[in-house]
């Protein structure tokens, strides 16, 4: 090695990122070169001085401010939902959905005796323009569709609506459960 190595090479030597053979050659050079030896010593001292810099300390009220801010915003993190709760909630929601579908999907006579009859009558009324239109389109495509099919279409639409409502409830219920967990 004829030239003195640059500072970047010395820096690489200090951080150990030089290839083994290059490091070996460089160390051999430094051993016999007073200039490079001094440079390397200075770099080492500089590194030590940076590492030993004192950390800045905030005021004694620092922790208190952080903790009171946390309390103030009621930001104590909630515990994650227990592993067993998710399937239970999902199961409940599926059961409820099936129940709604069964209640809605009975024959005309059964429906008239159902607790939910007023609800379904209302939904049927509200949705009748849609179902009629839907039925009309289906009839055009498949002229064999009869009244029974019309009833099936209504059940299908009501069941879809029920799934939509219950799916939304899932979104609403989970935060409520979590909030209760959090507040004990």
List residues binding other proteins (CB under 8 A). Answer: 4, 6-8, 11, 34-35, 38-39, 42-43, 45-59, 62-63, 65-67, 69-70, 73, 75-80
Closest CA to 161 of 104, 107, 89, 111: 104
Of the two residues 32 and 79, which places its CB atom closer to other proteins in the complex? 79
- DSSP annotation of 114: S
Is residue 29 within 8 A of residue 6, CB to CB? The reply is: no
The distance of closest approach from Cβ of residue 8 to other proteins in the complex, given in angstroms and rounded to an integer, is 6
Task: Give the CA distances from residue 156 to residues 101, 112, 115, 117, 178, in Å, rounded to whole numbers and listed in that order.
Answer: 9, 18, 20, 17, 33
Of the two residues 36 and 162, which places its CB atom closer to other proteins in the complex? 36
The distance of closest approach from Cβ of residue 41 to other proteins in the complex, given in angstroms and rounded to an integer, is 8
Q: Is 161 exposed, middle or buried (0-12, 13-18, 19+ CB in 10 A)?
A: middle
The distance of closest approach from Cβ of residue 181 to other proteins in the complex, given in angstroms and rounded to an integer, is 10
Of the two residues 27 and 182, which places its CB atom closer to other proteins in the complex? 182
Of the two residues 80 and 129, which places its CB atom closer to other proteins in the complex? 80
The distance of closest approach from Cβ of residue 160 to other proteins in the complex, given in angstroms and rounded to an integer, is 34
């Amino acid at each position: 090695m004829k030239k003195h190595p640059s500072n970047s090479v010395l820096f690489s030597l200090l951080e150990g990122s030089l290839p083994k053979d290059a490091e070996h050659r460089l160390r051999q050079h430094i051993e016999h070169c007073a200039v490079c030896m001094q440079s390397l010593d200075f770099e080492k001292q500089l590194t030590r001085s940076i590492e030993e810099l004192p950390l800045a300390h905030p005021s004694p009220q620092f922790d208190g401010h952080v903790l009171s801010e946390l309390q103030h915003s009621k930001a104590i993190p909630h515990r994650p939902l227990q592993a067993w709760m998710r399937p239970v909630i999902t199961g409940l929601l599926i059961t409820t959905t099936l129940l709604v579908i069964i209640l809605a999907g009975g024959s005309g006579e059964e429906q008239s005796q159902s607790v939910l009859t007023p609800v379904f009558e209302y939904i049927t009324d509200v949705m009748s323009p849609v179902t009629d239109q839907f039925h009309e389109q289906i009839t055009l495509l498949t002229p064999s569709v009869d009244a029974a099919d019309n009833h099936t279409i209504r059940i299908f639409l009501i069941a879809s609506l029920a799934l939509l409502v219950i799916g939304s409830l899932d979104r609403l219920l989970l935060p409520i459960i979590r909030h209760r967990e959090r507040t004990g």
